[in-house]
Chain A
């Protein structure tokens, strides 16, 4: 049975915060040996002393995590804080953590392949079940990165993760691996053995207007839609010129993201606009495939929160047994939640509602940890199976791990 210990701190000093959160988490672990520490912190705490302190207190335990605009915990959404989840796996569960640096030099594909190779090193003849991956948000070739990972781990292997996020003042996002803080890096943990998990990935935005086609694209830079400069797409629906669009880009990006139709998938894949280029091209937060059928998407706070409810339901269904049955079977569960920065911007005062929905859905005893991310990595659910892994925007993904 997995043993879990979650701790948080609101201390402003990184060293004190680390001490408080680790102590709190350890108390709940009793004398169990810790196998893994998942660490998420707000950007203001993201500094070397934070990881050094956690590392020295946990003595050799693999640490993996990232910084974000806000941290999700059982105690609330922490705009300034630290959350730690300590996990002690039973012998029937196997795990291996790895990290790859200098992605920008290696390229997305090579970085993905390298991380995949490293993760597999401890998994010879052991069936793998799930991969948890974190990456710097500044990865440019994100699709290639996933492809690289999939070439090693399997094209339909479930990967769940997040891109680190930051506040507007920081240019770098931070990735936590063991006792170090990295930028331009990715890290992951591969899990296998007697482990089950449920995953819910939803956004709550609905398509609006007629379908269009992406006729020219380079990675995340969409040049033409229906053979016209991409910006015309938004100018048409919002009835304004690009200058006006630029002034309200952040709001428009959150309220009306681009929806990519994916044949056979239940949900549209959303993309937030990052910028409008001089030539009328639109730069999105993640890659958009060539010839994609796209729609303008619309959502409200209510549909957004409904989606969270559905995501939690799916995450619960995916476990091999219900939470109450798991307790009887002497197994345990915890949840890792990634929610988009766009949801953070949209929900604002109702952020706590999203957390309440998650807590209520998973049950008050399920420890959870999470991050407001710059992009969420998860498979979209096809009719009866977990489908292909994508980088999502505007999405909440709830990963419920039991074992």
Chain B
């Protein structure tokens, strides 16, 4: 036993062994916990890595969605701005106002803060600036000079109807660089303005923003906008031409109206002078005529001496012609009085049957002599008229006398009255020789006599129907005739009713 080597027990003793055992157990437990913790950390790390991968996916999807959203927003904004600009531009018909209606805010919505427009002046052979947005006053001069210096390049845009832009030109293009430098932009679009008539030009838009690249969609929008400007210019010019023509026409109408007014005044003056003259002459004629007729009557009465038959015959002719002349003068006087308004119609409610009966009675002998029948047909509602009794009686006498004159024996005269609107219409028809069509419009003129065999035989003044017309018109009525040669005539006139 003494030779036995030192055992662990002998070295550590029992407490030591127990402690060592406890320590090894603790170490084992800790090692397990560490393993567990490490596993958890690894898991956490893995989860984080997975989260990061998910984050990448999320960002990628989000980016795509944002791109789509931005594209859509840009398109909607572009279309909205374009529609608004087009509407604003097209609501004016003044060429100068078209360019002032291009609102900077709307252009900014399209992505451009700078804009200019030039129209070619054929007379001066140069481009004239019509619009500038986003430039200081001292900046536009050098740009205009640049355009003038390179006018052929800009004229080419008009000739080829081609939109030019910083994306259609190659990256290292000299033109692109020149335009960018001159207009102080990073990207630009130049679209032709092409109205059908008049000066053409170009529309420039640009931006200094280098971060938002232009797209073909931008090019399309600006081309459409330039077209709209062209269309608006065309409309404005068309309107200008039409307006000018209208103005000229209006001026001509005014001038003609003025001339006609003057002519009418002149006619009125002449007519008045004529009426005054006729009135004056008639007065002067009537006095000696009265004397002539008086002396002729005395002689014819044979109070002084017995007249030889030849003398009597001559005197009777004098007497008859004097009567005719007196009638003529009286008619003339009446016409001139009515025309000058010296005679006022004494209008009262009258019974038309009374007037026609009296006229029929007055002309009864003549009707009988020529065997001409006279019939009256007066409607109840057209019986009462508001007229000057004596003047209207003259109208009836004149018209029926005429009918008698031109109606062959055995013929017929008809008086018909009926209500026409608010007035009474009277038609006096005969079965006479009728009036040729070309004479119908003239028969109411003074001294006009229809050229027919009866008129050549029967004497007349040509004043009867003029007088009739004047009397009817003085009653605010109208008179007209319908006639057919060989069949007869109808004189119609209207009279007011009470």
Contacts and interface: CB of A to CB of B under 8 A. Distances in A.
A239 B64 CA distance: 13
A80 B105 contact: yes
B104 A250 contact: no
B67 to A, nearest CB: 8
A284 interface: no
Interface residues of A, number: 21
B52 A209 contact: yes
A209 B108 CA distance: 37
A329 interface: no
B59 A168 contact: no
B79 interface: no
Interface in A174-219: 208-210
B376 interface: no
A80 B209 contact: no
A256 B104 contact: no
Given A169-B208, A349-B77, A237 B55 contact: yes
Contact of A255 (B63, B73, B77): B63
Given A169-B208, A298-B58, A210 B104 contact: no
A237 B208 CA distance: 31
B49 interface: yes
B56 A210 contact: no
A348 interface: yes
A219 B56 CA distance: 28
A277 B299 CA distance: 145
Given A237-B55, A238-B63, A255-B66, A168 B209 contact: yes
B105 A238 contact: no
A269 B167 CA distance: 39
Nearest to B70: A251
B62 A255 contact: yes
Interface in A53-72: none
Interface in B60-78: 60, 62-63, 66, 70, 73, 77
Contacts of B52: 209-210, 236
B51 interface: yes
Contact of A238 (B59, B209, B210): B59
Interface in B14-64: 48-49, 51-52, 55-56, 58-60, 62-63
Interface string A228-271: 00000000111100000000011100011000000000000000
B105 A237 contact: no
Nearest to A348: B73
A317 interface: no
A296 interface: yes
Interface in B68-108: 70, 73, 77, 104-105, 108
Contacts of A256: 59
Contacts of B210: 168
Contacts of B60: 238-239
Interface in B141-156: none
A388 interface: no
B211 interface: yes
A152 interface: no
A79 interface: yes
A361 B60 CA distance: 35
Contacts of B58: 208, 298
Nearest to A252: B63
Nearest to B57: A239
A168 B211 contact: yes
Residue in B59, B66, B77 whose Cβ sees the most chain A Cβ within 10 Å: B59
B66 A251 contact: yes
Nearest to B76: A349
Given A168-B210, A348-B73, A210 B49 contact: yes
Residue in A167, A169, A236 whose Cβ sees the most chain B Cβ within 10 Å: A169
Interface string A275-305: 0000000000000000000001010000000
Nearest to A209: B55
B298 to A, nearest CB: 106
A289 B444 CA distance: 116
Interface string A68-101: 0000000000011000000000000000000000
A269 to B, nearest CB: 19
Interface in A294-351: 296, 298, 348-349
Interface in B221-263: none
Contact of B51 (A79, A167, A210, A239): A210
A298 B56 contact: no
B43 to A, nearest CB: 14
A394 to B, nearest CB: 15
B208 A298 contact: no
B48 A80 contact: no
Contact of B59 (A169, A298, A349): A298
Given A79-B105, A79-B108, A210-B48, A296 B208 contact: no
B208 A208 contact: no
A46 to B, nearest CB: 13
Contact of A208 (B59, B104, B209): B59
Contacts of A167: 113, 208
Nearest to B69: A301
Interface in A132-151: none
B481 to A, nearest CB: 77
Contacts of B113: 167
Contact of B56 (A168, A236, A249): A236
B143 to A, nearest CB: 16
Contacts of B105: 79-80
Interface string B183-209: 000000000000000000000000011
A208 B209 CA distance: 31
Contacts of A251: 66, 70
A349 B76 CA distance: 11
A228 to B, nearest CB: 14
A168 B63 contact: no
Contacts of A348: 73, 77
Contacts of A210: 48-49, 51-52, 55
Interface of B: 48-49, 51-52, 55-56, 58-60, 62-63, 66, 70, 73, 77, 104-105, 108, 113, 208-211
6 contacts: A79-B105, A208-B58, A209-B51, A210-B55, A237-B56, A348-B73
Given A167-B113, A168-B210, 11 more contacts: A169-B208, A209-B56, A210-B49, A210-B51, A237-B56, A237-B59, A239-B56, A250-B211, A255-B66, A298-B62, A349-B73
Q: Nearest 5 A-B pairs (CB), nearest first?
A: A209-B55, A210-B48, A169-B208, A208-B55, A209-B52
